[in-house]
């Protein structure tokens, strides 16, 4: 799939399985263990927007090209005094926008991890709804080692996932954890042999796709609501409005306005 201007993606690939409801977004910089530059993130944001807007898509897989890396975070060669800079003279931390986008996206996003998920790449898998890990996966935060940190979701979500003590350990010591350690810590849902990774991920996708999209949409926003504060409540509340608009009661208000008459809500029950 090309981007909305018809151009080929350069830093990612984006595929949709016609008729199945699965989109797959792959970071395609394997020579850098799939480290991202600002351009990579811009392409990821476009692909995620497309998958969100495409009503035939029900689940999105985020992964990295090859078997050695899911994503190794920001491209350190492009790190500047104000973020990461590629084609522009100013730096960016647009990965933070991507994190918010994944978190608020009303469809499940599954991280399919082979190899390293470290630094900002580790944060990306954490903001996904589920993580399926290959047995060669390695997880960790390198920020304190390379003079960086993610004091947003990278800290708060981690603390929720693994607990406050373990989160401190991960950030303060910059250790790496293998797939089974990560599973024990609650960082990943399941570990499978590398050659079964894609098959297992598709199995999870298909199981999700058998279920009610609206139930899943509301559940995702409900599961995030407390942690995401006002933004979380807004997402959950938006779902309530979306569902309410489908009722006769809501429609009566709109119809009355359009017909320049008083709405008649008397016929609708005031439920206990």
Min. distance of Cβ 126 from ligand 2NE in angstroms?
Answer: 13
Using CB under 6 A as the binding rule, whether residue 72 contacts ligand 2NE is answered as yes
Using CB under 6 A as the binding rule, whether residue 75 contacts ligand 2NE is answered as yes
Distance separating alpha carbons of residues 74 and 90, to the nearest angstrom: 15
Question: In angstroms, how far is CA 259 from the centroid of its own chain?
Answer: 43
The residue among 21 and 140 lying less far from ligand 2NE, judged by its C-beta, is 140
Distance separating alpha carbons of residues 264 and 249, to the nearest angstrom: 9
Let me know: does 175 contact 141? Beta carbons within 8 Å: no
Which of 150, 183, 228, 235 contacts ligand 2NE by CB under 6 A? 150
The residue among 31 and 207 lying less far from ligand 2NE, judged by its C-beta, is 31
Distance separating alpha carbons of residues 200 and 249, to the nearest angstrom: 43
Which of 76, 101, 178, 189 contacts ligand 2NE by CB under 6 A? 76
Bridge partners (DSSP) of residue 113 are 133
Q: Which stretch binds ligand 2NE (CB under 6 A): 42-50, 141-149, 163-171, 232-240?
A: 141-149
Q: Which two tokens stand for residue 232?
A: 């979380």
| SS3 (DSSP) at 132 | strand
Min. distance of Cβ 268 from ligand 2NE in angstroms?
Answer: 50
Radius of gyration of the chain (CA): 21
Which of 39, 143, 155, 217 contacts ligand 2NE by CB under 6 A? 143
| SS3 (DSSP) at 174 | coil
Q: Which two tokens stand for residue 162?
A: 């693994």
Which of 73, 129, 217, 232 contacts ligand 2NE by CB under 6 A? 73
Binding residues for ligand 2NE, per CB under 6 A?
32-33, 35, 68, 72-77, 93, 95, 116, 118-120, 142-143, 146, 148-150
């Amino acid at each position: 799939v090309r981007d909305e201007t018809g151009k080929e993606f350069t830093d990612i690939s984006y595929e949709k399985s016609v008729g199945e409801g699965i989109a797959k977004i792959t970071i395609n910089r394997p020579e850098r263990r799939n480290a991202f530059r600002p351009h990579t993130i811009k392409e990821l944001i476009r692909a995620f927007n497309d998958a969100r807007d495409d009503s035939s898509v029900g689940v999105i897989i985020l992964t990295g090209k090859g078997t050695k890396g899911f994503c190794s975070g920001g491209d350190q060669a492009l790190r500047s005094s104000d973020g990461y800079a590629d084609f522009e003279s100013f730096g960016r931390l647009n990965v933070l926008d991507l994190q918010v986008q994944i978190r608020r996206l009303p469809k499940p996003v599954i991280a399919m991890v082979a190899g390293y998920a470290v630094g900002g790449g580790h944060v990306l898998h954490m903001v996904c709804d589920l993580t399926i890990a290959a047995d060669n996966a390695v997880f960790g935060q390198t920020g304190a080692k390379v003079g960086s940190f993610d004091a947003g979701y990278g800290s708060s979500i981690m603390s929720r996932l693994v607990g406050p003590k373990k989160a401190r350990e991960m950030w303060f010591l910059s250790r790496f954890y293998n797939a089974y350690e990560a599973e024990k810590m609650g960082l990943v849902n399941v570990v499978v042999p590398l050659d079964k990774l894609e098959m297992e991920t598709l199995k999870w996708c298909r199981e999700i796709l058998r279920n009610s999209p609206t139930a899943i949409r509301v559940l995702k926003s409900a599961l995030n609501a407390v942690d995401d504060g006002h933004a979380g409540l807004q997402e959950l509340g938006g779902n309530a409005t979306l569902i309410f608009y489908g009722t006769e009661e809501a429609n009566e208000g709109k119809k009355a306005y359009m017909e320049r008459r008083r709405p008649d809500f008397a016929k609708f029950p005031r439920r206990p």
